[in-house]
Chain A
């Protein structure tokens, strides 16, 4: 490489290297900063547009920034559709799915990780089959099933297809398997049954995995558009993303200022949570990738 390693006095070597490292760091900054800005630009555009007036958006002479901060779009958007109802529905649907999933995946993962029984492998592959065939691939027949149950246009229609999770079971089983056998043996000697061991030993130890799965589940179902779109058709059961979609259509699709204000309203709860818990959030998310 360079001549540094050959004739440099030993005392200067570390300093020289740190200068080099700093240069290299800056070189990366010069590339990464514009790329990051490019990635951020849609979000910046959403916020700026939500603060503009309608005329400003279409005026080619108007600048990049809004001429005056105009917050009128926010109440105007909220008046278009019952966003309060949508918000409550979104919370009910997302919360119920998560609660039900945590129960089903904990039980199933424990069975696969710690119990011996006939047909274990076959049953495990059947669970993984669901990962390959999510509802988005078989939505048509699921729609018909729910129609036969008389569940179309109800909140449960958006919840029941997601109660079992092959992905969650798989993630949790991996974590359960890493819990040392001695711990559950000790708990058994103390007189704990399987439920006791599960509750007092396993669940506290796999908290990071539970959080990671919870985040994935909440983000997925809070943002889900396709399934609620197919199974609902009235305001009282609709969720936030559907409300947002309606906004796009109701005003012939060109009222960008209100649309962007609506987008900010729908996006902000998750983004805010993300900014506040950024470290924890990303650590948990990264945790799932390792396994």
Chain B
């Protein structure tokens, strides 16, 4: 009998490994191997298409510390991520709360806010280049109409990055909104009713009731948002090519420049590893600070 149990258990394990095998092959080739290889490359002098490879040790990392442009690019990446994602989530939360009420034409509103998610980033980028055009773009026309000064937007080293941030908020908020909306639907409405009768104002209800109750989803959205910030490559590539004067150059684009344009795989890998550590660090920070405070309501 126990022999049979042992055999059944072994068969189950073998079946499980067989089921995991297809995924694991592709994960190994396109996720694990590249990460390991990227670390190895960063310790060497590697040129694209050149079979000769030299050991450098930590030299690439020392070069990174000395590279003024790297620090600028890193600051841009951090600024973009730390401003865009929280703002997009805040906008998404407000939209979700507004749409959670009994509003007429809810379907139209949901579509109006969600459709940017469906537009290819390259198309979105080009359209916004047009919207931001200093001479004839609708945004500057609108500013003039409101009596505000016109801006050079993507041509100004001061306004180019904020312009891309603004566009990203338009692009992502709808996605986050939908996920948050789903969570809001699960919050029992008698809680609001009770708070309302106790004289708790709408903003206070949002902060003290809604946010804690949907905190697991909020946490999920933050992580998804951080991972979405990789997409800025598309916008930078289409809209500014990192300019003007590297004002919109970000890590993914700088990796592309070093690896594909200058063919310096060693240094580009060093940058890529830095990006991985940065994103992993942010996710770790979020899980340590926010993850512990997440409330699970009736968690299964």
Interface string of A256-268 (1 = CB under 8 A from B): 1001100100110
Residues A260 and B272 in contact in the complex (CB < 8 Å), given A25-B103, A138-B38: no
On whether the beta carbons of B131 and A42 are closer than 8 Å, the reply is yes
On whether the beta carbons of B120 and A256 are closer than 8 Å, the reply is no
On whether the beta carbons of A138 and B34 are closer than 8 Å, the reply is yes
Residues A290 and B183 in contact in the complex (CB < 8 Å), given A117-B13, A126-B27: yes
Q: How far is the CA of A116 from the CA of B15 in the complex (A)?
A: 10
Interface string of A79-91 (1 = CB under 8 A from B): 0000000000000
- Any B CB within 8 A of the CB of A123: yes
On whether the beta carbons of A140 and B272 are closer than 8 Å, the reply is yes
- Any A CB within 8 A of the CB of B68: no
- Any B CB within 8 A of the CB of A49: yes
Residues A226 and B234 in contact in the complex (CB < 8 Å), given A28-B103, A107-B23: yes
On whether the beta carbons of A225 and B103 are closer than 8 Å, the reply is no
B98 nearest CB across to chain A (Å): 6
- Residues of chain B within 8 A (CB-CB) of A263 are 123, 126-127
On whether the beta carbons of A142 and B30 are closer than 8 Å, the reply is yes
CB closest chain-B residue, reference A130: B31
Looking at B25, B30, B48, which has the most chain A CB atoms within 10 Å of its CB? Answer: B30
- Any B CB within 8 A of the CB of A160: yes
- Any B CB within 8 A of the CB of A202: no
On whether the beta carbons of B179 and A108 are closer than 8 Å, the reply is no
Q: Which of A35, A103, A266 contacts B123 (CB 8 A)?
A: A266
- Residues of chain B within 8 A (CB-CB) of A31 are 98
- Any A CB within 8 A of the CB of B121: yes
A253 nearest CB across to chain B (Å): 8
- Residues of chain A within 8 A (CB-CB) of B179 are 285-286, 288-289
Range class of the B interface residue count: 35 or more
Q: How far is the CA of A39 from the CA of B169 in the complex (A)?
A: 10
On whether the beta carbons of A194 and B107 are closer than 8 Å, the reply is no
CB closest chain-A residue, reference B22: A104
Interface string of A101-140 (1 = CB under 8 A from B): 0011101101100011110100100110111111111111
- Residues of chain B within 8 A (CB-CB) of A78 are none
Q: How far is the CA of A121 from the CA of B101 in the complex (A)?
A: 41
On whether the beta carbons of A42 and B170 are closer than 8 Å, the reply is yes
Residues A138 and B35 in contact in the complex (CB < 8 Å), given A1-B199, A226-B233: yes
Residues A164 and B30 in contact in the complex (CB < 8 Å), given A137-B276, A271-B118: yes
Looking at A43, A107, A164, A274, which has the most chain B CB atoms within 10 Å of its CB? Answer: A164
Contacting chain B: which of A183-191, A203-211, A240-248? A240-248
- Residues of chain A within 8 A (CB-CB) of B29 are 145, 160
CB closest chain-B residue, reference A115: B16
On whether the beta carbons of B23 and A169 are closer than 8 Å, the reply is yes
Taking CB atoms and an 8 Å cut-off, the chain A residues in 123-179 that contact chain B are 123, 126-127, 129-145, 160-161, 163-166, 169
Residues A140 and B127 in contact in the complex (CB < 8 Å), given A40-B112, A132-B279, A270-B118: no
- Residues of chain B within 8 A (CB-CB) of A250 are none
A178 nearest CB across to chain B (Å): 8
Q: How far is the CA of A130 from the CA of B231 in the complex (A)?
A: 16
- Residues of chain A within 8 A (CB-CB) of B220 are 289
Looking at B31, B128, B221, which has the most chain A CB atoms within 10 Å of its CB? Answer: B31
A32 nearest CB across to chain B (Å): 6
On whether the beta carbons of B19 and A108 are closer than 8 Å, the reply is yes
- Any A CB within 8 A of the CB of B294: no
On whether the beta carbons of A274 and B115 are closer than 8 Å, the reply is yes
On whether the beta carbons of A107 and B22 are closer than 8 Å, the reply is yes
Residues A36 and B115 in contact in the complex (CB < 8 Å), given A42-B127, A115-B12: no
- Any B CB within 8 A of the CB of A9: no
Q: How far is the CA of A271 from the CA of B220 in the complex (A)?
A: 26
- Any A CB within 8 A of the CB of B189: no
Q: How far is the CA of A172 from the CA of B29 in the complex (A)?
A: 23
- Any A CB within 8 A of the CB of B292: no
B107 nearest CB across to chain A (Å): 6
- Any A CB within 8 A of the CB of B9: yes
- Residues of chain B within 8 A (CB-CB) of A29 are 103-104
Taking CB atoms and an 8 Å cut-off, the chain A residues in 10-45 that contact chain B are 21, 24-25, 28-29, 31-32, 35-37, 39-43, 45
- Any B CB within 8 A of the CB of A92: no
CB closest chain-B residue, reference A166: B27
- Residues of chain B within 8 A (CB-CB) of A137 are 230, 252, 272, 275-276, 279
- Residues of chain A within 8 A (CB-CB) of B268 are 140
On whether the beta carbons of B31 and A117 are closer than 8 Å, the reply is no
On whether the beta carbons of A289 and B227 are closer than 8 Å, the reply is no
- Any A CB within 8 A of the CB of B71: no
Interface string of B91-115 (1 = CB under 8 A from A): 0000100110111100111111111
On whether the beta carbons of A141 and B234 are closer than 8 Å, the reply is no
Residues A290 and B182 in contact in the complex (CB < 8 Å), given A134-B227, A135-B30: yes
Q: How far is the CA of A282 from the CA of B182 in the complex (A)?
A: 10
In the complex, 6 of the A-B residue pairs with CB atoms within 8 angstroms, ordered by the A residue number, are A25-B101, A105-B23, A123-B20, A141-B38, A144-B48, A289-B180
A contact residues vs B (CB 8 Å cutoff): 1, 21, 24-25, 28-29, 31-32, 35-37, 39-43, 45-46, 49, 57-58, 60, 103-105, 107-108, 110-111, 115-118, 120, 123, 126-127, 129-145, 160-161, 163-166, 169, 194, 219, 222-226, 229-230, 240-242, 244-245, 248, 253, 256, 259-260, 263, 266-267, 270-271, 274-275, 278-279, 282, 285-290
